[in-house]
Amino acid sequence: MNKLTRFAFLALACSCSGVLFFLIQREFIIIQWSYPPKNISQNFSVDGTTTRTITLYCWNNERLLDHQVSLIWYRTNPAENLKTLVSAWIDFAHSEHILSKSIVLQNAWYASHNKEAYLSFDQPIFDATWSIKKKIFLMQSLLKTIGKTDLQIQHLVFLINHQPMIDDHLDFSYPWPLDGFISNF
């Protein structure tokens, strides 16, 4: 092989590998290794999360519905657990046609010193035309859903856009106890 042929072959190989690396770096070509990670527990991933099966409760048509769902659960972040749980409950209530409008939980935070949690929604949870009974049973089902977890919460404060929730029938100016107001629910 003469010098010119070697140089042309080397130039072509370098150009092809340069173009290949450029395409990989710009993600036009994606290489994914399918080897399972080593030394990771099946219960907890690297970031301290696990999946947990939680029962969601919702009152509809004079009966209590329950639905089991798997949620991502954090070992060290109860506020994120509460946000995930309430968002799943909203999705369940919406899928059962209990909630007619799309409600978003803006924020959930947790005051561990007095075991009180705060939930801020983007709009009221229920319609103004609902009866008092329907409102109370809906709130009771949310309280029961949260109460069946180990979040160590005793009271919930409900907010709309980080301001106290206002309703014509129910008083949200005080924290609601997690065991609710209805016995044998």
Cα–Cα dist 146/77, whole Å: 15
> Whole-model pTM?
0.71
Q: CB-side exposure of 130: number of CA atoms within 13 Å? A: 21
On the question of pLDDT at 35 being above 70, the answer is no
Contact between 55 and 67 under an 8 Å Cβ cutoff? The reply is yes
pLDDT class for 46, splitting at 50, 70, 90? low
Q: What is the pLDDT of residue 40?
A: 45
Q: What is the pLDDT of residue 180?
A: 67
161 CA to centre of own chain: 18
pLDDT class for 183, splitting at 50, 70, 90? low
Cα–Cα dist 115/153, whole Å: 5
Number of Cβ within 10 Å of residue 111's Cβ equals: 13
Q: Tell me the pLDDT tens digit for each residue of 74-118.
A: 888 888 999 999 999 999 999 988 888 889 999 998 886 768 899
Q: What is the pLDDT of residue 104?
A: 92
- Tell me the pLDDT of the chain averaged across its residues: 84
pLDDT class for 41, splitting at 50, 70, 90? very low
pLDDT class for 181, splitting at 50, 70, 90? low
Q: What is the pLDDT of residue 172?
A: 86
On the question of pLDDT at 184 being above 60, the answer is no
Q: Please, is 126 exposed, middle or buried when counting C-beta atoms within 10 Å of its C-beta (0-12, 13-18, 19+)?
A: buried
Q: Tell me the pLDDT tens digit for each residue of 6-16.
A: 889 999 999 98
Q: What is the pLDDT of residue 128?
A: 80
State percent of the chain over pLDDT 90.
25
160 CA to centre of own chain: 19
Contact between 122 and 137 under an 8 Å Cβ cutoff? The reply is no
